[in-house]
Amino acid sequence: MQIPLEITFHNVEHSDAVEARARTLAARLERYCGQITRCRIAIEQTHKHHKHGNHYRVRIDVTVPTLELVAARDPTEHHAHANVYIALRDAFAAMRRQLQGYGQRRRGKLRSHPAAPIAYVAELFPAQDFGRLATDGGRLIYFHRNSVAHSGFDALTTGDEVRFVETGGDEGPQASAVHPTGTRHGVD
């Protein structure tokens, strides 16, 4: 590993085996970003529990040009962190994902998702738990109460703008997900 590496232990005795595993995982980070200028790893044992075992917190600070990335795995997030090796694995996996995203941003290769199409609520039938959306092309698309995000069916009114995900249904097109945009348009 070419980058400066600092490994510290807090509230836990130093372990050569744990340090060796941390060094191995840190060396693998260079596969995802060759511009790492510094890597600090802190391994901490939080509280000593006789009943639940000891839990470990691992924090990784990586410095790359123009940015410092931090990945931390807290024992309250996952009970498996009673094992220091699992806590290390999870923290390094989180750092790997951050480095991959950093590399993609630097290369301008961020994943882009096409924007969901926009439609307007054309008809609502609350007693039957469904409605229809009107697209700019004049198509009517069925949607059910359960497909409206955040249980927002009852808040919808005719003319509300929504984004939606279209799927094929037994009786024609339907919206599997409907997300109100908060914009209202006049209705004829």
**Token digits of residue 24:** 């191995």
Q: Is residue 30 part of a domain?
A: yes
∠ CA 56-64-18, rounded to 5°: 25
Instruction: Please give the order of strands across the beta sheet that includes 67-73.
Output: 5-10, 38-45, 56-64, 67-73
Mean pLDDT across 54-71: 88
Q: Are residues 70 and 145 in the same domain?
A: no
Domain boundary among 56, 73, 107: 107
| Count of Cβ atoms closer than 10 Å to residue 132 Cβ | 17
Q: Are residues 44 and 94 in the same domain?
A: yes
Buried b (16+ CB within 10 A) or exposed e, 40-57: bbbbbbbeeeeeeebbbb
Q: Are residues 66 and 133 in the same domain?
A: no
Q: Are residues 130 and 164 in the same domain?
A: yes
Q: Are residues 46 and 93 in the same domain?
A: yes
> What is the reported pLDDT for 158?
93
Q: Is residue 19 part of a domain?
A: yes
Q: Are residues 103 and 131 in the same domain?
A: no
Tokens 């232990």 belong to: 9
Q: Is residue 57 part of a domain?
A: yes
pLDDT of 139-165, one tens digit each?
A: 999 999 999 988 889 999 999 999 999
pLDDT of 76-135, one tens digit each?
A: 555 656 788 988 998 999 999 999 888 888 777 656 667 788 999 999 999 999 999 999
Contact assessment for residue 81 and residue 87, using Cβ atoms and an 8 Å cutoff: yes
Domain count, the chain: 2
Residue 70 per-residue DSSP state: E
> What is the reported pLDDT for 114?
72
Asked if residue 187 has pLDDT above 60, the reply is no
Q: Are residues 10 and 79 in the same domain?
A: yes
Q: Are residues 100 and 10 in the same domain?
A: yes
Interstrand relation of 140-144 and 38-45 (parallel, antiparallel or unpaired): unpaired
pLDDT of 38-60, one tens digit each?
A: 999 999 987 655 555 678 889 99
Domain boundary among 107, 134, 163: 107
Which residues constitute the domain of residue 56? 5-107
